Chain A
C-alpha cells in the first residue's frame, strides 16, 4: 500500500531528524571540547541541557500527547534524584563506587518516580483537567517539603528515619547519615557526564516516539481528542492516561538521577524541584510545540542557554517566560487568531511551508 509506505517514510524522517539532531550536536560538542574550545560556562551547561531536554520531552507526553496539565513534574524529578542519590551516596560510604552503580541508580530513580506517578495518578486522573493541575502542583510542593524535612541514616541495624534531626535517628557509632534535612545529601558521587546524558536522552526519546506511534499512544491521543468517543470504541480513560502519566513521571525521575549525580550537594530548593521548575519545563513544552518532541528538545536547550549567555537579563528571565506563555497561547489557541491565520494562509501560501517551532497547528495533516 502506497499510503502506509508514505506514512512510515514521513514518520521515519521525522524520527530520524531528532536522532540526527542529537547526534550531530553531540559530535560538535565533543569535537570542540577535544580542541579545548568549550568555555567553562558551556561545559557546565552540557548535563543540564540533557536533564532539561528529558524533562521537557517527558512532560510533553502528559501535556501535548495526553492533553492533561501536570504542574508537579519537578516533584517526580525530585523523587528520582533523592532515591537514587541515597543509594549511590550510601554505596560510596560503603566504599563501593563504579559506573555500574549509576545504571542501577537510574533504574531506581525511574522506578520510584514512576511509582510516585502511579500513586498520584490513580485517584487524580479520573478528574477533570483543572483539578489535575492543582493536585499535581500540590503534590510537587509536598514532595519538596518532605525532602527538606527528612533525616535518613543507615547503620548495621538497617535504615533509620526521622523528621526531627540527626540525633533523633538514633544511629550507632558505625552509622552514617545520608539525608540531613534541609542540608540534603552531600558528597554525591559525580557520575553524570554529557555522554551519559545524551545516551539517556536518546533512550527517552526512543521510548516516547515508539510509544506515541503504537496502539497505546494512539489510544492516549484518542482520549485527548474526544474522551466520550474514545470510550465508545472501548478505550479505558483511566488506564491509558495513567500509562502516559506514569511513564512521564518515571522519565522525570531519570532526569532527576542525572541532575543529582552532576552536583556534589543535593538539596530540595524551590528553584530546582519547586513550582518554578515545573513552570519552566512547561514553558519548554509550550514553546517547543505541544506534542512535538523535537521542539521540546530545541526549546529546552535554547532557553537554558539564552539566560546564561545574557546574564544581564537573568532578573527578567521568569518575567519573559510568563509573557511568552501568554503570547504563545493566544497566538496558537485563540479562536479569532486561528481564523485570522486561516485567512492569511490562503492569501500567502508561503506560510504553509513555514516550519517555525510553534506553527505546527497549521499543518494540514494529523499527527
Chain B
C-alpha cells in the first residue's frame, strides 16, 4: 500500500468576527483514500471545504497538497489548477448550458487554445474540440448521463444534477476530490449507486476523495477514515468503525 500523504492540514483556523468557525483543525489524508468529514449542522464542514479551495482565507494554519505544494494563500483558480476540485452543497451548475457543455467547460484547462484560435477556427480548435467532446462524453458515461448529454442542465432531475456536478469536478483532473453532501436528496437506490460510482472513480481515476455526508450508511459503506467535527473543533479522528464507536461522537450526534 502507498503511504504517501496527499492532503495535510495543520492547525487550520478561521474567525468570522469573533466567531471561531474552525479552530486548530488537523487532517491528513493518504493518497487514494476515501475520507469522510462528518458532524452536526453548523460544525464548520463546508467552511473547511471553502478553506481548502481558497474561497475563504484562513486566519492561521497551513494546507499542503501532496506534501510539497502549499495551497493556502492561493486563490480558487490556482488551487483548482494544482489539483483540488469540489462539488457544492447547494448545487451550482451552469444551468443554461447543456449537460455535455458543463463537463466540457471543466476540461478547459486541459485543452487550452487561445481566443484567437477559437475565432479563426485554427487547426488547434478543431483538434481540441474533438478531444473535449470525446472525453466529456466518456465522463458522462461513467455517471450514466450520456443520454441526457444534450439536455439543458437545469432541466435534469435532482439526483442527476448532483452526479453531473461530480462529473464536472472530475473533468478538471484533480488529485483530490471534495464532495459536499453528494447523497443529499437522493433515494436509497440512488445513494447505493452513488457509493459504487464514488468507489469506481477513486479506483479508475486514482483519486483521493474527501466527502462531507450526513447519510451514515454511505459514510459507513465507503469511508475508510473519518473526522468528526463539532463547533469547529475535531471531536474524533481515525478509522471509521473506531470513530463511530467513540462515546463523544455518539453524544454529539444523539444528544445526552
Contacts and interface: CB of A to CB of B under 8 A. Distances in A.
A and B: interacting chains: yes
A174 interface: no
Interface string A349-367: 0000000000000011111
A366 B134 contact: no
A219 B168 CA distance: 13
A225 B150 contact: no
A211 to B, nearest CB: 5
B105 A232 contact: no
Nearest to A231: B76
Most buried by A among B117, B119, B151: B119
Given A233-B169, A235-B108, A211 B152 contact: no
Contacts of A210: 118-121
A261 interface: no
A234 B77 contact: yes
B46 to A, nearest CB: 13
Contacts of B171: 233
Interface stretch (A2-10, A19-27, A298-306): A2-10
Interface string A186-230: 000000000000000000000100110111111101101110111
Nearest to A367: B96
Interface residues of B, number: 49
B93 A211 contact: no
B229 interface: no
The secondary structure that dominates the A interface is helix
Contacts of A363: 152
Nearest to A240: B115
Contacts of B137: 1, 3-4
B97 A217 contact: no
Nearest to B88: A229
Contacts of A3: 100, 137, 149-150
Interface of B: 53, 55, 75-77, 80-81, 85-86, 88, 92-98, 100-101, 104-106, 108-109, 111-113, 115, 117-121, 125, 128-129, 133-134, 137, 149-153, 155, 168-169, 171-172
6 contacts: A210-B118, A214-B115, A233-B171, A243-B115, A365-B152, A366-B97
